[in-house]
């Protein structure tokens, strides 16, 4: 069975001291984790220190977002070069909060995807539908639109470095979770889109994470779903123990 991934998106939580304490504690807990990839996405202010703490562990670092320009008069933004300088391997792009709170368009996200690839960063592209889109049975259409826009003109070589996270907007931070059947249906659609655009091998190799109120109590049934390759965890990643329990569930499933 292929490696699976558990990624944490801390959003606007944890200062430098809190982030360092979390990293030190987690690094002790994951010494026996062998088959599960672990990614942490702390606030930008914590990336430098966490890189130093985690450099000899299995944990990879990710930015929570980035601008598509290299530099310039873009107050409060961060560039790919800045993420590279603190050894980020990944960057989360297209998160629903960026799309719907900060009004990022598919076109803007596409520019960021291209910049990430050009800069040697691996995008974690978030896609997902709003509640009204699911109720009106437009989930597939929305996912296809987001997918097609993001990967237009992207080569097979670049695409192979990408992770996709399916995050139904109605399940993020709400306590609601997509059923395993709903999640599998969406993940399968993404694989089919990949097979149609590229080929079956790339579709099978693609890592598709589920995000949306993932907790230790629901991680087991979700990870047993055929097309789920891991999780992008929000609230449950803010406590070391609950995040580790999710990692442990995935690791034990692979063993």
Catalytic residues: 95, 167
Do residues 143 and 129 make contact, with C-beta atoms less than 8 angstroms apart?
A: yes
Residues contacting residue 130 through CB under 8 Å, at least 6 positions apart: 100, 142, 169, 170
Distance, in Å, from the CA atom of 57 to the CA atom of 65, rounded to the nearest integer, reads: 23
Distance, in Å, from the CA atom of 150 to the CA atom of 146, rounded to the nearest integer, reads: 6
Residues contacting residue 17 through CB under 8 Å, at least 6 positions apart: none
Reduced to 3 states, what is the DSSP secondary structure of residue 197?
helix
- Count of CB atoms situated within 10 Å of the CB of 179: 12
- Identify any residues that bridge with 41 across adjacent strands, giving them in sequence order: 9
Structure tokens at 171: 């399940």
Do residues 240 and 29 make contact, with C-beta atoms less than 8 angstroms apart?
A: yes
């Amino acid at each position: 069975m292929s490696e699976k991934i558990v990624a944490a998106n801390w959003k606007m939580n944890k200062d430098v001291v809190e982030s360092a304490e979390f990293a030190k504690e987690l690094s002790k807990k994951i010494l026996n984790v062998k088959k599960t990839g672990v990614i942490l996405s702390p606030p930008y202010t914590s990336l430098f220190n966490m890189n130093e703490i985690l450099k000899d562990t299995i944990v990879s670092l990710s930015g929570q977002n980035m601008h598509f320009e290299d530099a310039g008069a873009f107050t409060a933004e961060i560039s790919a070069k800045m993420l590279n300088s603190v050894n980020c391997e990944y960057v989360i792009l297209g998160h629903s909060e960026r799309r719907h709170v900060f009004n990022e368009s598919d076109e803007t996200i596409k520019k960021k995807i291209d910049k990430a690839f050009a800069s040697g960063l691996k995008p974690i592209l978030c896609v997902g539908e709003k509640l009204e889109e699911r109720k009106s049975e437009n989930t597939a259409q929305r996912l296809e639109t987001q997918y097609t826009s993001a990967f237009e003109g992207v080569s097979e070589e670049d695409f192979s470095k990408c992770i996709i996270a399916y995050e139904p907007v109605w399940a993020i931070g709400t306590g609601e979770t997509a059923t395993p059947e709903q999640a599998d249906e969406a993940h399968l659609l993404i694989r089919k889109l990949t097979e149609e655009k590229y080929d079956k091998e790339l579709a099978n190799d693609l890592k598709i994470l589920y995000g949306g109120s993932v907790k230790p109590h629901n991680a087991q049934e979700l990870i047993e779903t055929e097309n789920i390759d891991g999780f992008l965890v929000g609230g449950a990643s803010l406590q070391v123990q609950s995040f580790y329990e999710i990692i442990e569930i995935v690791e034990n499933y692979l063993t």
